Every structure is written in structure tokens, then in C-alpha cells.
């Protein structure tokens, strides 16, 4: 397969890129960090350096490829709101990095997927979007937007036989979560995350969520009546 992975210079995306390359696929690993891209190139991966929030640059870069079988749109970030300040600049940064970069990547990669015999688009959301979680006003909203986009694209791209998956990780140990200063139950390694994702992608699952012992708890809690969850959520707020 010819595979494009965004956010491949670090964390989950880097592990996925290395694993797909080791399986013998042609992998295009994208990111901004030049040194990380050079390391991936030294391992034999094809690389592309671009900021995915730059629409013109992204469209121009993707136009160099002739076709893509699998696109995993994984680039993203996480920042938390700390009240009493509701920092709208933080919200803009998170929306730009998570939602806009994904939308731009979709626009850029769709024409290439349409040239594949078995096209597959996978968007990386988060299990954080299952429930309103404290401090996640920006991050949770951005991942809820990605979930909606993936579910809608699954409907709209069906006539073209383009499979669409939504990937919802729980906590994965990466440079991003190393910044967190709160408990991260059932946190798994990037290798485990990559294994879950590649298995789910192979089956073209609509939703790839893991680790199940964590995501099923969140899914069950999401069925609680709203007011009940609000009471539980309030107990999680830092004193
Ligand atoms: N780790 C978790 O527990 C967890 C849980 C749920 C969901 N996720 C999601 O999984 C994805 C990967 O997370 P991670 O933990 O592996 O994070 P990470 O280690 O910080 O990696 C993030 C990647 O995204 C790239 N990126 C960010 N903004 C970009 C931009 N504007 N243009 C191009 N590339 C950009 C980074 O590239 P550069 O470093 O080259 O700039 C980096 O390769 C994210 O979407 C995250 O929200 C993670």
C-alpha cells in the first residue's frame, strides 16, 4: 500500500510510520520537525516537511503524489483550559492544529485516494470526545468535530467506495501526554497503540478505539443522563 501519515515525526504517528514501513509498505511520513524527518528518512521512509495549517503549502505538497491507498490524519495537539481565564487564543490554536489541519489534509488527499483501488481514510480523534471532561473545552470540542467529520464522510464517501475510520485512542505515552500532570488510567505505549490501529485499519473498522478496558468505561458513562454525568464531572475538577 501507499500510505500517508500526518504527525509522523513523534508519538503515535511515528510508531505507525515505522511499523508500516517495516511491513514493506511505501510510507510517506509528514511533519514539521526537520531532524525527526531526517531520522525517518535514514530508516528508508519517504518524508514531507510541511505545516498542515498552511492550506496552499499542503495542497501543493500533496499534488506531487500520484495516488494514496491509506491516509492516516493524525497530526494534532492538546492544550487545556485553566479557568478563571478562558483563553480563546488557546482554543484557536487547538482548533487550527486539530480541526483545520485535518480538513486541509482531507481536501489535499481525497483526489489521491480516488485513484486507489481500495482507498481508506482514517482520522485520529480521541476518546476524550465521548464525554465532557474538565479542562477539555478546546481539546474535547476539536476531537468532537473530527468525530463528526469522520462519521459524515463515512456516509458521503460511501458511493465512491472510500472507507472511513475514526480512531479514538485512550491515553498513550507520547511527548504530548508526558506534559500531563494528572492521572492517566490505562495509559499504553505507542507500540500498543500502533498495533491496535493497524489491526483496526486492516479490518476497515468504522471506529478503532483502545484500550477497550478504558474506552468501554467512557462509552458506558456517556449513556448516563446528562445531569448525573455533570455531578460526576464536577468531582473531577481540581480544587
Ligand atoms: N497520546 C494520547 O494519549 C492521545 C490520545 C488521544 C488522541 N491522541 C491524538 O493522537 C494524535 C497524535 O498524538 P501524539 O500523542 O502522538 O502527539 P505528539 O507526539 O505530540 O505528535 C503530534 C504530531 O502532530 C504533528 N503536528 C502537530 N501540529 C502540526 C501541524 N500544524 N502541521 C503538521 N504537523 C503537525 C507533530 O509534528 P511536529 O512535531 O513535526 O511539529 C507531531 O508529529 C493527535 O491528534 C492527538 O490528539 C493522542
Domain boundaries, the chain: 2-235
* Average pLDDT of span 146-167: 98
> Which atom of ligand 1 is nearest to 171's Cα?
3
Q: Counting atoms of ligand 1 from 1, which one is nearest the CA of 33?
A: 40
Omega before 73 within 30 of 0, i.e. cis: no
Residue 102 clears pLDDT 90, i.e. is over it: yes
pLDDT band at 39 (very low <50, low <70, confident <90, very high): very high
The pLDDT-based confidence of 238 (bands split at 50, 70, 90) is: confident
Confidence of residue 17 (pLDDT cuts 50, 70, 90): very high
Is 239 a residue whose pLDDT tops 90? no
The alpha-carbon radius of gyration of the chain (Å, integer) is 18
- DSSP three-state, residue 208: strand
Q: Which CATH class is domain 2-235?
A: alpha beta
Mean pLDDT of the chain: 97
What CA–CA distances, in Å, run from 233 to 87, 117, 134, 177? 21, 46, 7, 21
- Name the closest-CA residue to atom 44, ligand 1: 76
Q: Tell me how far the alpha carbon of residue 103 is from its chain's centroid.
A: 12
Three-state DSSP state, 31: strand
The cell for 67 is 495516488
Closest protein CA for atom 1 of ligand 1: 172
Q: Give ∠ CA 181-187-191 in degrees, rounded to 5.
A: 125
Average pLDDT over residues 87-113: 98
Quote the percentage of the chain above a pLDDT of 70. 100
Query: Rounded distance, CA 215 to CA 90, Å?
Result: 27
Q: What span, in angstroms and rounded, lies between the C-alpha atoms of 130 and 221? A: 9
Q: Whose CA is nearest to atom 35 of ligand 1?
A: 75
pLDDT higher than threshold 90 for residue 78? yes
The predicted-structure confidence for 185-233, as pLDDT tens digits, reads as follows 999 999 999 999 999 999 999 999 999 999 999 999 999 999 999 999 9
67 pLDDT band, cuts 50/70/90, is very high
Q: Which atom of ligand 1 is nearest to the CA of 78?
A: 47
The residues lining ligand 1, judged by C-beta closer than 6 Å to any ligand atom, are 6-13, 31-33, 36, 51-53, 74-78, 97, 101, 124, 126, 169, 171-172, 174-177
Amino acid at each position: 500500500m501507499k500510505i500517508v501519515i500526518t504527525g509522523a515525526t513523534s508519538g503515535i504517528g511515528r510508531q505507525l510510520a515505522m511499523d508500516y514501513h517495516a511491513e514493506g509498505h511505501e510510507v510517506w511520513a509528514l511533519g514539521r520537525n526537520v531532524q525527526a524527518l531526517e531520522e525517518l528518512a535514514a530508516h528508508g521512509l519517504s518524508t514531507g516537511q510541511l505545516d498542515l495549517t498552511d492550506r496552499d503549502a499542503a495542497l501543493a505538497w500533496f499534488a506531487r503524489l500520484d495516488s494514496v491507498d491509506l491516509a492516516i490524519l493524525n497530526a494534532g495537539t492538546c492544550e487545556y483550559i485553566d479557568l478563571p481565564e478562558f483563553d480563546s487564543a488557546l482554543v484557536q490554536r487547538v482548533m487550527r492544529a486539530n480541526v483545520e489541519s485535518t480538513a486541509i489534509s482531507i481536501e489535499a488527499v481525497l483526489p489521491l485516494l480516488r485513484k486507489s483501488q481500495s482507498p481508506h481514510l482514517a482520522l485520529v480523534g480521541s476518546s476524550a470526545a465521548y464525554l465532557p471532561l474538565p479542562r477539555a473545552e478546546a481539546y474535547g470540542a476539536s476531537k468532537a468535530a473530527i468525530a463528526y467529520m469522520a462519521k459524515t464522510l463515512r456516509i458521503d464517501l460511501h458511493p465512491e467506495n472510500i472507507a472511513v475510520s475514526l480512531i479514538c485512542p485512550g491515553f498513550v505515552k507520547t511527548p504530548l501526554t508526558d506534559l500531563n500532570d494528572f492521572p492517566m488510567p490505562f495509559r499504553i505505549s505507542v507500540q500498543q497503540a500502533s498495533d491496535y490501529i493497524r489491526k483496526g485499519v486492516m479490518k476497515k473498522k468504522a471506529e478503532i478505539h483502545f484500550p477497550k478496558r478504558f474506552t468501554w468505561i467512557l462509552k458506558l458513562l456517556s449513556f448516563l443522563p446528562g445531569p448525573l454525568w455533570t455531578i460526576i464531572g464536577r468531582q473531577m475538577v481540581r480544587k
